[in-house]
Amino acid sequence: MLPMLFIVGDSTVHNSSGGRIGWGDILGNYFDTNKIRVENHALAGRSSRTFQTQGWWNLVLAASRPGDFVLIQLGHNDGGPLDDTNRARGSLPGIGDETREIYNPVTQKQEVVHTYGWYLRKYISDARSKGMTPVICSPVPHVPKQAVKAGDVEPSNYVVWSGEVATNENAPFIHLNRIAMGRYAGMTPEQIKLKYFTPADNTHTNPAGAELNAASVIEGLRGLVNCPLQNDLALPQSRNL
C-alpha cells in the first residue's frame, strides 16, 4: 500500500464555496500518484484547538500508518474568542504551557484551553507516535496592506509562533508565508487582491491564489533537508501563477 500524505488546516487549505479554493485542494496535482496518495482533511472554520477537540485530528491518526506524512497549517482562526456562543475556537496566545478553564457554550462542557503552541506540539507528538512525519507550515498571508518587497513576511504572531514550535520540536518547517509573499513581490495590494483572492474578503484565495500557495508549499518541501516527500513529487509542470 502506498504511503499517505494527510493535509490538516482551515478554510485557506480547503474551500469550495463562492469561488474560494484552498491550496490543499490542488496540492495532490504536484505528486506522483504512483508513489503516494494525498488526502486533504482540512476543514473551514477550524483552529489548532477545534480541529483537535472536535475529533477531526483523531480521524487522521486512526487512518494513518507508519511512514505516512502530515502537513499542518493552522492559525488563521486561533485569535477568536475562547468561549463565544458561535464557535468557541480561540486558543491562548503564545507557545507556552499556560491554560485557562472555561465553560464552552457550544459543547456545554467545561474545557481546558491551551496555547496555540501547545496544540501544535500535540500535533507533532501525536503524529510521531503513530510513525508519521509531521511538517509544520506557517499560515499563508492575507492580502498585504502595502506593496510587497522580496523577503517580506506578514506581521503575524502565528507565523512567528509556528516557526518557533517547529524549531523547538525539530520538526520540518515550511515558511509558507514568506514564500507566498515572495511571489507577490513588486505587486500592489490591489493587483494581488484582483489576481489571487476572492472579492468576498482578504483571506480566501481564488483558483489562481490556491495554485500560488500550493506551488509555495512545493517550493518549501523542495527546500527541506532530507525530506522523503521530495522523492514523491511529480515532474515539474508549467503553471500560470
In a 10 Å sphere around its CB, with 0-12 CB exposed, 13-18 middle and 19+ buried, how is residue 217 labelled?
Answer: buried
Angle among Cα 184, 180, 241 to the nearest 5 degrees reads 65
Mean pLDDT of the chain, nearest integer: 96
Residue whose C-alpha is closest to residue 114's, from 73, 162, 82, 160: 82
- pLDDT for the residue numbered 238: 45
In a 10 Å sphere around its CB, with 0-12 CB exposed, 13-18 middle and 19+ buried, how is residue 111 labelled?
Answer: middle
- pLDDT for the residue numbered 236: 65
In Å, how far are 20, 110, 194 from 117, measured between CA atoms? 28, 21, 34
- pLDDT for the residue numbered 168: 98
Domains and CATH numbers, the chain: 4-76+125-232 (3.40.50.1110)
Confidence of residue 235 (pLDDT cuts 50, 70, 90): confident
- pLDDT for the residue numbered 237: 53
pLDDT in tens, 53-70: 999 999 999 999 999 999
pLDDT in tens, 21-80: 999 999 999 999 999 999 999 999 999 999 999 999 999 999 999 999 999 999 999 999
pTM of the model: 0.95
For residues 133-166, b (16+ Cβ closer than 10 Å) or e, as one string?
bbbbbbbbbbbbeeebeeebbbebebbebbbebb
